[in-house]
Amino acid sequence: MIQKKVIALERRLRDCRNVICLGVRTDFSAYTAEEAGLIRNADKIYYPSVFYADLFDAMGKQIFPSYHTYKCVQDKIKQTALFSLLDIPHPRTKVFYGNRWKNKIPAHFDYPFIAKIPRGSAMGRGVFLIRNPEELSAYALQTKTAYIQEYLPIDRDIRAVVIGNRVVHAYWRVAAPGEFRSNISVGGKADLAPVPQEALDLALHTARSCGWNDVGIDICIHKNRLYVLEANMKYGKEGFRAAGIDYTRLMEELIEKREI
């Protein structure tokens, strides 16, 4: 039975029958009096947005995803620092600042290496395999801060989605021929072969340790070692569709059971 509807701001749950989605208005006065009352009186606000997550946390209102989840959205620098603090296995990574950082990188990393746009990039965009000084120079034109990571030659990784306090889905992402990225958005394919339990355990440990409760954790296996590559709070639903999982119904059930 569908219980009392809950309140959400972002559109992630817009198709859920037990959710009223109000939209995100950074000018709070733009909400109608009825909408403002629903927000003020709700026990919990779902998907409040980066803008309101801080504000609801300050006033003591419960939110989902967690405040900590929002603090690390599309911020690879902050995620890497957190992984290091928590001793979570992560490819060797270094952040370079300043006008002359391009000249410092070869002293720390041999070619080839991975370079990423450190903030705001997702879906495989802003990720580059740097094989020579010319490609490094091209990357340098796109960012003032360099996020450099050792290159692990793999053709697949694992996406484990943690919602609430459990892994709800996990699958392999296999890179397209000639492509170093495994993202579905750049031609990768979802492979539903069994995922090692150790990877699921690492994903859940990572999410719990970081305070994240709605996140896709990307993990790779290189030379029999597991590495957390990054966390994606705005993960896609392609892997759910490939497995025949109705994401909307899943979220409805998690809300009904008060798991989130």
Domain shared by 161 and 216, yes or no = yes
Count of other CB atoms within 10 angstroms of residue 224: 5
Domain shared by 198 and 231, yes or no = yes
Is 219 within 8 Å of 199 (Cβ atoms)? yes
Is 176 within 8 Å of 167 (Cβ atoms)? no
What stretches of 182-237 show up as alpha helix (H) in DSSP?
197-210
Domain shared by 218 and 166, yes or no = yes
Domain shared by 125 and 178, yes or no = no
Per the structure, the complete domain to which residue 105 belongs is given by 92-150
Domain shared by 109 and 174, yes or no = no
Domain shared by 191 and 130, yes or no = no
- Spell out the per-residue pLDDT of the chain, length 260, in tens: 335 799 999 999 999 999 999 999 999 999 999 999 999 999 999 999 999 999 999 999 999 999 999 999 989 999 999 999 999 999 999 999 977 788 899 999 999 999 999 986 665 578 999 999 999 999 999 999 999 999 999 999 999 999 999 999 999 999 998 889 888 878 789 999 999 999 999 999 999 999 999 999 999 999 999 999 999 999 999 999 999 999 999 999 999 999 99
What's the pTM value of the predicted model, to 2 decimals? Answer: 0.93
Q: How far apart are the first and last CA of the chain?
A: 17
User: Closest by alpha carbon to 236, among 210, 213, 216?
Assistant: 216
Domain shared by 190 and 249, yes or no = yes
Q: Are strands 6-8 and 19-21 parallel, antiparallel or unpaired?
A: parallel
